[in-house]
Amino acid sequence: MSSVLTESVIVIGGGPVGATLALTLQTKGVPVTILEARAKGAAYQDQRALALSYGSRRILERLGVWQKLATKATAINTIHISQRGSMGRSLLKAQDHELLALGYVLSYGALTQALDEKLAEFSGVKIIYEAEATHIEPALENASVTFNHQSQVQELAGKILVLADGGRSLGDIPGMSRETKVYGHDALVSKVQCELPHDNVAYERFTPMGPVALLPNGERDFSLVWTGNQAQVAEIMQLDDATFLSRLHEHFGDRVGRFMSVEKRLTFPLKLSYLNPVTAPHLVVIGNAAQTMHPVAGQGFNVGLRDAYELANTIAETKPADWGEVSMLEAYQKGRKNDTKRGLMFTDFLVNLFSNDVAGISSMRGLGLGLFDLLGPIKSRVVNKMSFGSRG
């Protein structure tokens, strides 16, 4: 099998992060080849909720995608943060920080479809669907990817190869090592309808079991993220719908009234994981393939989107002859280091702080939430970092 050398940027993964990278490159006239494991349109019905920061909306606006999504996204205008068993709470409001919204909730499928439709307007992108990557090889001249397509093993090589496949394992990549911290907790995700309207308020409630989040999603619905240790989550997964809704009301409280209905429930293990480094000769890894975060602060996907946007700008500003060379890779890593590191540290800090039930700590946390609500400059800094990353 001989490799086919391409002048394009090769992107492995056509989901939102890979597609954002490709679209940004297309707006700058850079040709792109995408290898996507799924069939065309296979993800359009995927109703998994994504929490987009206001900064991510700004990226999608620049790419001409947000216009396709505005009517499908639910704005988060207020974030209500509380701790079970404590009077302390804090409110973050978009209007207090001169933002149209603190964030938005929309489905993975809607975002994927909008990005694909925009990509179709450009002639410089080639998408190979049902192409399953099996091996990546960085090298001094070109990086190469081996993939299965139409029952044949094929190989592409190029000056710059980007892995944006959402964290699917391809085994060890030479020159890269992965650090992983397993929390021993799972997240249960679903969609629930409540008795009271959400009024565009998102709730983050910390409990001894773990954080539980409700994100407004649609006219009266919330996307639910309920975390706990693996045994606890396994137990509530087995409950019938009526018992589940009753247990959720007991766990969360009365702020949204009774929980009226629940859709399909899914679970996944929670971990912190990151590659070090995220580059190798002529290879860059971005998005969840580079770093995976606990969902407590909704940072993971937005960090990945910023990876894509910043990498595209770095590639476009570099002469094609220097794509994947040390100077380009170092420039990208330097530009992304603070954003990624702070996102990882922030989410890990929150998990550790609010999972500690040592006597006396709970009341101190409640007091801290109350004080945080009074400290305008600190709140503004947190909102800016959540919205725009390290440049906020």
Tell me which amino acid residue 259 is.
F
Cβ 147 vs Cβ 154: under 8 Å = yes
Q: In which residue are the tokens 């349109």 written?
A: 41
Which segment of 63-72, 76-85, 169-178, 185-194 scores lowest on mean pLDDT?
Answer: 169-178
pLDDT tens track for 194-234: 999 999 999 988 888 888 999 999 988 999 999 999 999 99
pLDDT of 283 higher than 60: yes
Chain mean position to CA 78: 20
Q: Has residue 201 been placed in a domain?
A: no
Give me the mean pLDDT over the 305-316 stretch.
96
Look at residue 152 and give its three-state secondary structure: strand
For residue 147, the enclosing domain spans: 4-43+105-179+272-354
Q: In which residue are the tokens 């929150």 written?
A: 350
Using alpha carbons, select from 151, 220, 253, 204 the residue that is nearest to residue 351. 204
Q: Has residue 134 been placed in a domain?
A: yes
Q: pLDDT value at position 391?
A: 58
Q: In which residue are the tokens 């975390």 written?
A: 227
Q: pLDDT value at position 360?
A: 42
pLDDT tens track for 16-55: 999 999 999 999 999 999 999 999 999 999 999 999 999 9
pLDDT tens track for 166-194: 766 666 788 888 888 888 889 999 999 99
Q: Has residue 118 been placed in a domain?
A: yes
Predicted confidence band of residue 370 (pLDDT cuts 50, 70, 90): very low
Q: Has residue 100 been placed in a domain?
A: no
Q: Has residue 92 been placed in a domain?
A: no
Kindly report the pTM of this predicted structure: 0.89
Q: Has residue 382 been placed in a domain?
A: no
Q: Percent of the chain having pLDDT more than 90?
A: 65
Number of separate domains in the chain: 1
**Residue 392 is encoded by which pair of tokens?**
């906020």
Q: pLDDT value at position 340?
A: 81
pLDDT of 85 higher than 60: yes
Q: Has residue 202 been placed in a domain?
A: no
Tell me which amino acid residue 117 is.
E
Q: Has residue 10 been placed in a domain?
A: yes
In residues, how long is the chain? Answer: 392
pLDDT of 356 higher than 60: no
Which segment of 46-55, 76-85, 324-333 scores lowest on mean pLDDT?
Answer: 76-85
Q: What is the CATH number of the domain that holds 111?
A: 3.50.50.60
Q: Distance (Å, rounded) from C-alpha 117 to C-alpha 120?
A: 5
Cβ 47 vs Cβ 108: under 8 Å = yes
- pLDDT greater at residue 300 or residue 107: 107
